[in-house]
Amino acid sequence: MGEGINDYTRYVVDLRRHMWMGGVETDLRRLIWQIAVTGKYISARIHESNRKLAGFKNIYGEEQLSLDRSADDIFKSQLQFSGFVREYASEEQDAVISCGKGDEKYFITADPLDGSSLVETNLAIGSIIGIHKESVFAEGRKSMVAALYITYGPLITMVYSAGKGAHEFVLNREGEYVLSQENITLKERGSLYSPGGLRKDWLPEHLKYVECLEAEGYKLRYSGGFVPDINQILIKKGGIFTYPALQKSPRGKLRLLFELQPMAFIIEQAGGKASTGKDYILDMKVEALDQRCPIYIGSRFEVEKAKEFLSGT
């Protein structure tokens, strides 16, 4: 056997091995694996629907489901009979869906396709998943056991946390998720800012906060996709993403259960923070599936600084 092959087998750590070595509980390991694999099917669906062929219809000439809806169908059908999922709550569904026999261990939340309006521009998009050990109508800190997101960009990457750090994997040509970064750790303070919402709709205290970041030389990085925008902060090891309260929507835009909780779980595991500008996201009790919250998420310094501005201190 050549040296190269030995080197390869010695250094490549795939997702299953990583979770096993990290002591992630068996069923949770299987579930995370299954969700990561589902990302491959969704990626195939994105490619299929985005072939940029004018007048493209499927072979039966039928209307195509929107990409968000078909990503949801894919997750639902993959998780429904997994044997590990009791309830599936999705941004694409009005109500929680019961799965299996009712004695399964986990409750799943999904934003099956985040940033779907970016598909035609060929920017990165993603899937966001939360894994809970009890009903999702609770504080994330009490109910969550894991979270992951998949980024469909030039590469397909997946970041998961099962409560023992945040780790990034890349999907290789053989179709395996291979470890690229273990225990990603954010710096106390970063240099990127990613501000959502129109400036003219911001509240004065938020505007002052952003002006402070700008005066300090923070670089603007906003793609309009929550997954790649958060991923950028994580991989660059710092900075702040915000989607604040707006004049006409005091609860902001992004959804607590499907978008904010999973990202807050991962960012906290990377040593960062996530708040509404007042309370930590993981301390917010979920009262409704479509509940929205303002969000300040990223390095500790910037998140705490936002609190100071918003509380007027």
| Residues found near ligand AHG in the complex (CB under 6 A) | 111, 114-116, 196, 224-226, 253
The site partner of 224 among Mn ion, ligand AHG, none (C-beta below 5 to 8 Å per kind) is ligand AHG
Q: Which stretch binds Mn ion (CB under 5 A): 25-33, 78-86, 110-118, 151-159?
A: 110-118
Q: How far apart are CA 299 and CA 188, in angstroms?
A: 6
Q: How far apart are CA 299 and CA 212, in angstroms?
A: 16
Nearest 5°: phi and psi at 127?
-125, 140
Nearest 5°: phi and psi at 65?
-65, 150
Q: How far apart are CA 211 and CA 195, in angstroms?
A: 11
Q: Which is nearer to ligand AHG, 151 or 269 (CB)?
A: 151
Total number of residues that touch Mn ion (CB under 5 A): 3
The nearest distance, CB 178 to ligand AHG, in angstroms, is 26
Binding of residue 114 to Mn ion (CB under 5 A): yes
The site partner of 225 among Mn ion, ligand AHG, none (C-beta below 5 to 8 Å per kind) is ligand AHG
The site partner of 231 among ligand AHG, Mn ion, none (C-beta below 5 to 8 Å per kind) is none
Q: Do 231 and 125 meet the contact criterion of CB atoms below 8 Å apart?
A: no
Residue where the block lists tokens 């998943």: 129
Q: Which is nearer to ligand AHG, 13 or 118 (CB)?
A: 118
Q: Which is nearer to ligand AHG, 38 or 116 (CB)?
A: 116
Q: Which is nearer to ligand AHG, 28 or 148 (CB)?
A: 148
The H or E element spanning position 16 is helix 15-21
The site partner of 272 among Mn ion, ligand AHG, none (C-beta below 5 to 8 Å per kind) is none
Q: Which is nearer to Mn ion, 104 or 114 (CB)?
A: 114
Q: Do 197 and 246 meet the contact criterion of CB atoms below 8 Å apart?
A: yes
Q: Do 159 and 234 meet the contact criterion of CB atoms below 8 Å apart?
A: yes
Among 111, 168, 268, 302, binds Mn ion (CB under 5 A): 111
Q: Which residues of 95-133 are buried (b: 16+ CB within 10 A; e: fewer)?
A: ebeebbeeebbbbbbbbbbbbbebbeeeebbbbbbbbbe
Cα diameter, the chain? 66
Q: Which is nearer to Mn ion, 91 or 268 (CB)?
A: 91
Binding site for Mn ion (CB under 5 A): 91, 111, 114
